[in-house]
Amino acid sequence: MLDKERFYFDGLFPILVRDVGQLVQYTGTLSPQPGLGMHDDYYASNSSDASTWSPCAKRSGFCLSGYTTEQFQTYGANVAEKIMFAGEFGALYPSMQSCSALDQYSYTYHAQSITLHPYPAVGTELQNEGCVKSFYNKVGTRIILQTVKVIGDARPGGRLYVALTMVNDGYGRVIRERPVDLILLQDGQEAGRIEVPIEKMDLRTLASSRNPLSSTFAFRVGLPEKLHRGPITMALLIKDPAPSLRPRTAYALPLNSVDKDGQAIFSAAKGLNRIVTVNIEHHSE
């Protein structure tokens, strides 16, 4: 079945397999293989995640006696860091679902998605502990825009240097290459659209870590001649990798930041992240 799935989907998106043992048995190695991720459907829900980390699980069709639980856990962490790891709670298990324990576990396995179904009691437990919102806010990618620098000739036809410093505060990360457009808005209308080269803003480089490091993405843009004097707002449109989904705003990636007034910079209706407003001057004489 995996052979067939890889034939159709290799290079498009990761194929997630339930158990480490199944992946090791299929690939014959403890090195993660491109395109093969994990789906742990008993995530942090008992001591072995229902044999996710067990070298021998006959119910799943494997018994690899030459391996250890520690090797499987390391393998799972490597898959999470390099490919993709998704989770699903399977039972209430407070010793691993306390706020601190779950936070540490999720940074180890870089949970790209988590579902409560069919055990919503886990959500109640997290709510009682006071971390249900902070936990779910960090599942998957959570990119925060820290600073914006714009310098240059802010006039019609001028050139600007833009530098954006960001950090990934989430458990997961951007997995596939996402095209980015810089949108110029003036008087509420789109006045320009500039494609940012992927080598200048590859969001996949924002790693997930308990103590994440910031990255600065810098590029130069030429302003349209049709701009008139007054303020323009610059916004980022971070599009879905699939060409068929790029026009759909629901698939645009948000930046999890607020402006100086405490308002979210991301507009779900438009898929745009407002990053800065600059003032356009007249053409120089």
Q: Is residue 150 located within the same domain as residue 74?
A: no
Q: Is residue 163 located within the same domain as residue 272?
A: yes
Q: Quick count: other Cβ atoms within 10 Å of Cβ 163? A: 13
How much is the average pLDDT of 79-106? 95
How much is the average pLDDT of 147-166? 96
* Cα 92 versus chain centre, distance: 27
How far apart, in whole angstroms, are the C-alpha atoms of residue 182 and residue 160? 12
Q: Is residue 130 located within the same domain as residue 150?
A: no
Please choose, from the candidates 126, 117, 68, 129, the residue with its C-alpha nearest in 3D space to the C-alpha of residue 91.
117
Q: Domain for residue 285, yes or no?
A: no
pLDDT at 110 over 60: yes
For the stretch 220-270, pLDDT in tens is 999 999 999 999 999 999 999 999 999 999 999 999 999 999 999 999 999
* Global pTM value: 0.89
> What mean pLDDT is reported for the chain?
94
Q: Domain for residue 260, yes or no?
A: yes
Q: Domain for residue 200, yes or no?
A: yes
Domains of the chain: total: 2
Which CATH number do you get for residue 185?
A: 2.60.40.10
The pLDDT value given to residue 258: 94
Determine the structural domain holding residue 109 and report its residue range. 2-138
Q: Is residue 159 located within the same domain as residue 52?
A: no
Q: Is residue 14 located within the same domain as residue 116?
A: yes
Q: Domain for residue 122, yes or no?
A: yes
Beta-carbon contacts of 9 under 8 Å, excluding residues fewer than 6 positions away, are 15, 35
Q: Is residue 86 located within the same domain as residue 192?
A: no
Sequence letter at residue 5: E
Q: Is residue 153 located within the same domain as residue 266?
A: yes
β-bridge pairing 36-40 and 85-88: parallel
